Structure 1
Amino acid sequence: MKKFRLLFPILILIGLIMTPFITEAHVKWFTEVAPKKEAIENILSPLFMSLALAAAIVLGVLTLIIPKTADWKFIREWDSKLSGLRKYSRFILKYGTAAAILIQVTNGTLFAPELHIQHDAAVILAWITIGLLLVPHHIATKAGALTLLGLFIYITTQHGVFYMLDYGFYVAIIGVLLAGNTRFENMGFPFLYLGTGLSLCWVAVEKWVFPSMSLDIVVNHHVPTFGFAPGAFIVMAAFIEFVVGYLLVVGILNRVLGMVVTLIFVSTTMLFGFTEIIGHFMVHIVLIIFIIEGVSFYNPPIKMHKTKVDQFIFVFLNFLFVLGTFILIYYRFA
């Protein structure tokens, strides 16, 4: 039994690292295929339903196993070393955001590779944002965050709220920057966890609702499917991405998740090239913060339930509820 406890998290880690490359890709960045909505009865296939139940069970089991790993010596040492870096988290986010905007604006885009800047005023505001974020004072940081918020609202008016939900984590980043040196400072990083997790879940649903776009990427970029049929591969890849987002929201395995997803993003860069760097540089910064911070400041929802059985039931049922809600909302407004 003791060996099983040791191997189980390691197997999960290996499995996530070997997740197919397409898992974390925004499909609209790499295909020109027009989105074609799949019929709901095809989305809710036997494979989809089986994977949903399997994922819910695995997530419930994780709530029972992960707390026990906290007593392992190397885990304690790892936590101690990473906790010592927490004082740099806000600086990493601040200057990382400036670097991300710099990469984007020098390539004529903002927030994502396909969102091209249309007006000179937006370019000027983007450079002002970068300059303000580089100033080592919290007033300048807040001013830069407000300018960035204005740019996000501007881009949203150009492309629509539904479209920009893919990049909702930028709103969470802006919230963290604005909350610094205020009485709301402790709420910043939990908001970042929530915003990033929900964004990942939202992007995952796109692969189920518009599978033709993902299929085009698999074919044209020669994405390895590891022996699975392309259609089944896409369903499974989207589940991995949705599960990662859900885990960030409920507060399970955050440091390990940050490390694993960062490795996946590095892998996708080798496959998709510079476009991947433009689009995911900011996400890398956020994941580095997750690796450093863990969940010390975050009271995850599962902590509302004291017994292990209650936590298992909560995660199991809540995952299915969240999954169904995301699909219905996305399908309705897509």
Structure 2
Amino acid sequence: MRKHSVTFLLSFTICFVLSMTMPLAAQAHVKWFTDLQPVKEAMTQIISPLFMALALLIAVLLAVLTQLLPTLNNLKFMQKVDRQLDKLRVYSILLLKYGLAVALLIQVLSGSLFVPEFELLTQQQSILLWISIVLLLVPHHYATKAGALVILYLFLDLTLEAGWFHMLDYGFYVAIIVALLLEKTKLSAWGFPFLYLGTGLSLCWVAVEKWVFPLMAVDIIQHHGVPTFGFSPEAFVTMAAFIEFVVGYLLVVGILNRILSLVLTGIFVSTTMLFGMTELVGHFMIHMILVIFIIEGVSFYKPPIDMHKTKLDQMVFVSLNFIFVLSTFLLIYYRFA
């Protein structure tokens, strides 16, 4: 019993620290809140002693966390919560479909397309958005698929205009479209795993933006009074980006999805109060996805860590895999930024 209590306390502490240190990280797209032009930081400045120390520390913490999960999952309280949430899974696809319809409605009424930085410029775009909203509200999966295809057309058209690199920030929309298109098909079981993957990778991708273009995030801190808890703005940006990257990574590998989603939901609500309509327009759909993740958990997913039998092998795998993913994202983003 004492061991279970300690495990739960450690897990709660991790999530509490995330919630207290992520006010900036939750502003997933810093370009929405600053007028500064992006200036790429030198790679030697990005990979600072602080960056390397945090990367190693997080790799070790993730390795330890994987060994705490079995004990956490065996807690009676957690099992009871899981059983209650499992009953709500039948509503997940409805939340995704109608949540997307509401998100698009907010966007069209605010004159934006997908996110605040893209304005509705043509009547055709407005008409197509309204068509997709109506189709998503029709309670039939064929109408849902038609609405998803309309959204896919708008997304691809916007990608041709803004560039594929820019639109990688919003890759979760592609994941949403795929999940809706797979509804009630032989591949429907792949819909939500793809949604997890797309959302997690999007969080990782926009986290790297804060390392490569740190001045934009620093400008937000200075002009919006974001608390840095005694750290310099530059150091705080580095730490906040790491936290956001870790959250995305954990969503991809299937660790603590329900707890992380609950924490992130609270953070996004708090930043909406700070940044108002811009935050609501840009992140409403992320809110809905996180609610779905709270309901879904990781029942569909067998974490890659299960391929390794011994605790030591699991810890080494998680640590090295995190370093590899971090390095890959940073190098690719820096190369094409």
Q: Which amino acid aligns with 1:17?
A: S
2:20 to 9, 18, 21: 18
Deviation at 1:71, TM superposition (A): 1.0
Q: Is residue 20–residue 224 contact of structure 1 (8 Å, CA) maintained in 2?
A: no
Q: What is the distance in 1 between the residues matched to 2:120 and 2:11? A: 44
Deviation at 1:271, TM superposition (A): 1.4
Indicate yes or no: 2:167 matched with 1:175: no
SS of the residue corresponding to residue 114 of structure 1 reads strand
Match of 1:252 among 252, 255, 268: 255
Distance 1:323 1:149 in 2: 29
Q: Which runs of structure 2 are paired with 1:106-255 in the superposition (5 Å)?
A: 106-255=109-258
1:45-97: CA deviations, max 9, x gaps? 00000000011111111110012111111101100110000000000000000
Counterpart residue number, 2:335: 332
* Residues 92-111 of structure 1: pairs in structure 2 closer than 5 A: 92-111=95-114
Kept after mapping to 1: 8 A contact 2:176/2:195:
yes
Give the deviation of 1:159 after TM superposition. Answer: 0.5
Secondary structure in 2 matching 1:295: coil
Identical aligned residues as a percent: 62
Q: Which amino acid aligns with 1:14?
A: F
How big is the shift at 1:305?
2.1
CA distance in structure 2 between the aligned counterparts of 1:15 and 1:44, rounded to whole angstroms: 24
Once the two structures are superposed, residues 80-138 of structure 1 have per-residue CA deviations (whole angstroms, 9 ceiling, x without a partner) of 11000000000000000011011011111111111112111111111100000000001
Q: Deviations over 1:239-264 (max 9, x none)?
A: 00000000000100000011000011
- Rounded Cα–Cα distance in structure 1 between residues aligned with 2:104 and 2:226: 29
Question: Which residue type is aligned with residue 33 of structure 2?
Answer: F
Would the aligned equivalents of 2:22 and 2:244 in 1 still touch at CA under 8 Å? no
Partner Cα distance (1:4, 1:50) in 2: 26
Aligned runs of 1:312-327 on 2, under 5 Å? 312-327=315-330
Structure 1 length-normalised TM: 0.98
- CA–CA distance in structure 1, aligned partners of residues 96 and 167 of structure 2: 21
Structure 1 counterpart SS, 2:34: coil
Counterpart-to-counterpart distance in 1, 2:276 and 2:8: 36
Q: Which sections of structure 1, spanning at least 5 residues, go unmatched?
A: none
> What is the CA–CA distance in structure 1 between the aligned matches of 2:217 and 2:176, rounded to whole Å?
28
Which of 60, 71, 75 matches 2:78?
75
Residue 20 (structure 1) shift: 3.2
Provide the rounded CA distance (Å) in 2 between the counterparts of 1:303 and 1:143: 38
Query: Following TM superposition, by how much is the alpha carbon of 1:216 offset from its aligned partner in structure 2, in angstroms?
Result: 0.5
Pick which of 126-135 and 296-305 moved more.
296-305
Matched, 1:5 2:12: no
RMSD over aligned Cα atoms:
0.9
Q: Is the 8 A contact 1:249 1:300 kept in 2?
A: no
Q: CA deviation at 1:306?
A: 2.7
What secondary structure, in the 3-state scheme, does the structure 2 residue paired with 1:113 have?
strand
Structure 1 runs, 4 residues or longer, greater than 4 Å off = none
Aligned residues: 334
